[in-house]
Homo-oligomer: A and B are copies of this chain.
């Protein structure tokens, strides 16, 4: 009888996170001060993050110990299962072997708690009383709410107002874990009050919510701020995903030729792919790692490599990244987690060095793939995850055309239980295919007056 799931025991949860920086042939360029444009050191982050996380942000060490307290909370859902997608292979009539790592078994339903838990832990260890953050679709906010609750830290989430009203159930989920959730812009911050003075009915934006969360942390010594993607330490924490998958693939007696993951800021993709990239860098293996991004926000496939701000208003350090420009406003696709203008620094350098690949899919193609996946494998994927599914379909089709069996592994990073409105819109035919013109991209990039990486 065929085995559908490859499971690991709790003892097999990784004991260290993998830091790919140690193995990169070209290290990431330093961040620059937003004003002086001079390189800055880690101390610039001290008002916002605890020291342990700042150290992880810049460490050259290849392996970073995972504290026992963090591994103990990971056990609430980790190790996550690795599935062989027999039904899907049959339906696609492909010689490819398809595996997926399923991160939707976490309490909040995605891979996000993998970093939320250690972030909350290190804050707790350093006596932080409250963590603030922003959230759009709500995946990150709910992961941090869960994590803070586990370590008895208060959690304050600035949720983009339009999402707050469109996704009330994500808010209730955060409340259940004890977090305070505010519809941003609020009158609790200078940044929020300024926006509200201009436009009392502002629907909010991720940029505004970031400003509010950062302001709260910067102005209260007992409060820190937390980010769910992009930064090095966030990517580091997510490598538990790929490390487990590597052991599971070995147990299945198999090894991926292709590793695929959705791409927003980079933590999802990094989590699954970096432990496999390690094999390329260390042992000269040739595993293709493909980042799947939305065609409406194609920083990897159509952006440029340039210093740019992490936020919209230009307050963060300048980072060397693939970007569409910090003023780029992506179309309001349902995959809210992928609507970010730039790519994290490490992933950007890897792409520049041709060590990874990227592909973009439009918003109808991904739901078509998501529904097919649900019909054959049962699990309804989160809109973010459907991007990886669409790439899998492409590669499986290629295998069929070429008559070659390749082994494909992808990150099913979350379930769609809180995203059924997106599926409803898809079935109702009310999703419009978003076309992004070259003119629109060039117009956004033309506004950039930031330094060009040397």
Chain A residues near B (Cβ < 8 Å): 1-5, 7, 9-11, 68, 71-72, 75-77, 105, 107, 109, 146, 149-150, 168-169, 172-173, 175-178, 371, 374-375, 377-380, 415, 417-418, 420-421, 423-424, 427
**Contact (A3, B7) CB under 8 Å given A175-B427, A375-B149:** no
Ranked 8 nearest A-B pairs via Cβ? A107-B378, A169-B420, A417-B417, A4-B75, A172-B420, A172-B424, A76-B378, A176-B374
Assembly CA distance A72 to B421 (angstroms): 31
Q: Let me know if B175 and A380 touch, CB within 8 A.
A: no
Q: Could you give 7 example pairs across A and B, Cβ below 8 Å?
A: A4-B10, A77-B378, A169-B424, A172-B427, A176-B371, A177-B375, A415-B417
Q: Let me know if B375 and A178 touch, CB within 8 A.
A: yes
Q: Let me know if A421 and B169 touch, CB within 8 A.
A: yes
Beta-carbon nearest neighbor of A380 in chain B:
B176
Assembly CA distance A423 to B180 (angstroms): 15
Q: Let me know if B10 and A72 touch, CB within 8 A.
A: no
Q: Which residues of B contact A173 (CB under 8 A)?
A: 380, 420
> Shortest distance in angstroms between A426's beta carbon and chain B's nearest beta carbon?
9
Assembly CA distance A178 to B423 (angstroms): 12
Q: Let me know if B7 and A9 touch, CB within 8 A.
A: yes
Assembly CA distance A377 to B11 (angstroms): 20
Q: Which of B7, B168, B417 contacts A7 (CB 8 A)?
A: B7
Assembly CA distance A105 to B107 (angstroms): 11
Beta-carbon nearest neighbor of A106 in chain B:
B378
Assembly CA distance A61 to B374 (angstroms): 37
Beta-carbon nearest neighbor of A8 in chain B:
B7
Q: Which residues of B contact A168 (CB under 8 A)?
A: 420, 424
Q: Which of B76, B375, B417, B427 contacts A109 (CB 8 A)?
A: B417
Assembly CA distance A190 to B322 (angstroms): 62
Q: Which residues of B contact A11 (CB under 8 A)?
A: 1
**Contact (A379, B107) CB under 8 Å given A1-B72, A417-B417:** yes
Q: Let me know if B4 and A76 touch, CB within 8 A.
A: yes
**Contact (A2, B72) CB under 8 Å given A172-B424, A173-B420, A420-B169:** yes
Assembly CA distance A377 to B75 (angstroms): 11
Assembly CA distance A360 to B150 (angstroms): 31
Q: Which one of A2, A379, A420, A421 has the greatest number of beta carbons of chain B within 10 Å?
A: A420
Beta-carbon nearest neighbor of A105 in chain B:
B105
Assembly CA distance A168 to B425 (angstroms): 12
Q: Which residues of B contact A417 (CB under 8 A)?
A: 109, 169, 415, 417-418
Assembly CA distance A172 to B419 (angstroms): 10
Beta-carbon nearest neighbor of A427 in chain B:
B175
Q: Which residues of B contact A427 (CB under 8 A)?
A: 172, 175-176
Q: Which residues of B contact A76 (CB under 8 A)?
A: 4, 377-378
Q: Which residues of B contact A5 (CB under 8 A)?
A: 10, 75
Q: Let me know if B1 and A68 touch, CB within 8 A.
A: yes
Q: Which residues of B contact A169 (CB under 8 A)?
A: 417, 420-421, 424
> Shortest distance in angstroms between A23's beta carbon and chain B's nearest beta carbon?
30
> Shortest distance in angstroms between A416's beta carbon and chain B's nearest beta carbon?
9
Assembly CA distance A177 to B420 (angstroms): 13
Q: Which of B75, B109, B176, B423 contacts A423 (CB 8 A)?
A: B176
Q: Which residues of B contact A421 (CB under 8 A)?
A: 169, 172
> Shortest distance in angstroms between A119's beta carbon and chain B's nearest beta carbon?
16
Beta-carbon nearest neighbor of A419 in chain B:
B169
> Shortest distance in angstroms between A418's beta carbon and chain B's nearest beta carbon?
7
Beta-carbon nearest neighbor of A370 in chain B:
B176
Assembly CA distance A169 to B378 (angstroms): 16
Q: Which residues of B contact A175 (CB under 8 A)?
A: 423-424, 427
